[in-house]
Structure 1
Amino acid sequence: MSEPIRALIVDDEPLARRGLELRLREHSDIQVAGHCANGRELLQKLEETRPELIFLDVQMPGMDGFQTLAAIPESKRPLVVFVTAFDQHAVQAFEACALDYLLKPVDEARLAQSLGRVRDALAERGAESQREQLLDLLRRMSGRPDLELEEALSEPLDPSAARDPDMLAIKDGGKISRVPLDSIRWIEAAGDYMCVNTDGETHVLRATLREMENQLDPRRFQRVHRSTIVNIRRVTTLRPHINGEYFLCLDSGHEVKLSRSYRDKLELLK
């Protein structure tokens, strides 16, 4: 029989730590090697416990989850499952890029699914892959596609900018603007930058169209051109163009083109 997977639970809430441990007891191949109330305790216990897996709370006083990871040497960094109180919209980035995440309160079925991913990852032991996934996550959340790992982990997460599903956080230097999603008309690519056209102004940020797609709810925003995402709630009429293309007329009076490659999106606009 193989050795159990050693896990540490890191959370500043005692009830959250206890609740997760009780659920983990249902999985015989998981051994909870200890609890930590904050990032500093984790750093002290790493050498002693040598965990293969950390359940890491994102928001903690002092060192948050990402700052804690930054303090762990890459060669000694275990697999990480984030534990978060963020809502479903905000954790889309986690789902796309992290090994996994769990929403509080932890659901047993979701925990079982997460542990399946952990077992697969340990079987392959893709440490480099985990590093790249983490870096991709931090780049998406910061809106800086050129961010390097150590630089990213040294910056605290701004949960207030990511939590609200009705807002898009746009970072410009040290300033973060929270733009209501309903105010966005369309988003267009301009080289390495995105222009977010709203009712009041145009915001410019450095990102890719794919990154924007991953942040936005597809029930509200759809890509209609290789360089354009539109708020489908702002579309009032569709005007046929040539070769199967359309112009989408927005309630602001502006028009954006729906190219032939994205004709499948017509059903969402009818």
Structure 2
Amino acid sequence: MPARPDFLTNSMIIGAHPDDEMLWFNAIVGKVDKVVIVFRDFWAAPRLGPARAAAMAALPLRDVTCLNVAEPGTYGCADWQNPVLTDYGMRLGPEETRREVTRLAKRALGKVSPLSPVTSPERVAQTYRDNFTRICDALAPMLTPDMNVFTHNPWGEYGHEDHVQIFRALDHLRRRIGFTLWMSNYCTERSLPLAMRYLRSDPAPYVRLPTDKALAEAIADVYRAHDCWTWTDDWAWFDDECYIEAPRGEAGGNQNRLMPLNFFSGETAPRKPLPLKTSSALILSALAGAALAELW
């Protein structure tokens, strides 16, 4: 039996949403010591949180924990052609305002769970900002200097604002605690402008591993069975993945490089649409009530 690679000793995957642990860390998800998922509930889909909880409890993995942080609903809110990073993640643009109108309308129409913490009066951008502290506070006690931690890359794989936030939270904790932070190699045309900033003239060595397609399908089937699979149904697993120690800050420049990328077309393989849209008539009829509700 081959020896366990050193970089999987005392190892942990930290993924944003349920299924991220196997989409971007396919080669190691069955080998790490622990998997941590950050988000569970989502205000736009009240039934999603309980379904995710049931699915995570049924995953064929050795140790899975969820931080139960509320998902803010930021996907697609940043300007990915000219991305602006912040201490807590990314700067959100006009789409965040439209998303907030949807949240208020759904809340006024009773289409979010009244028992869920995601019905707080915080707007989408504020929840996103506050989540950075929540995530850091929840993860810090779980991390030690001798750990190998695997998480989203700085550009969020296909360009997801939550993924970028998770990376930036762990990069912050790495400076404080001193663990080794690893990332994998997925990228799309959407996230490429941000990925280009992290190229190096002397990148660290990378590790290439074959993916475990059978385990990935088994995990995907659990999410499908619990009706909380949010990725495309016709996704084709890559044959291998590359892992590299996450760069410390941006660099960029001519003739720079990082590692081989698993590059795919993100616009043809998005997450399944969740109920973020509300008809104009319903929004108009609900906004007055929503605004009043925010005052109480």
Q: Using structure 2 for the length normalisation, give the TM-score.
A: 0.30
Q: Give the strand-richer structure, 1 or 2.
A: 1
Q: Which structure's relative contact order is higher, taking Cα pairs within 8 Å and 6+ residues apart?
A: 2
Q: Using structure 1 for the length normalisation, give the TM-score.
A: 0.32
Q: Which structure has the larger Rg over C-alpha atoms?
A: 1
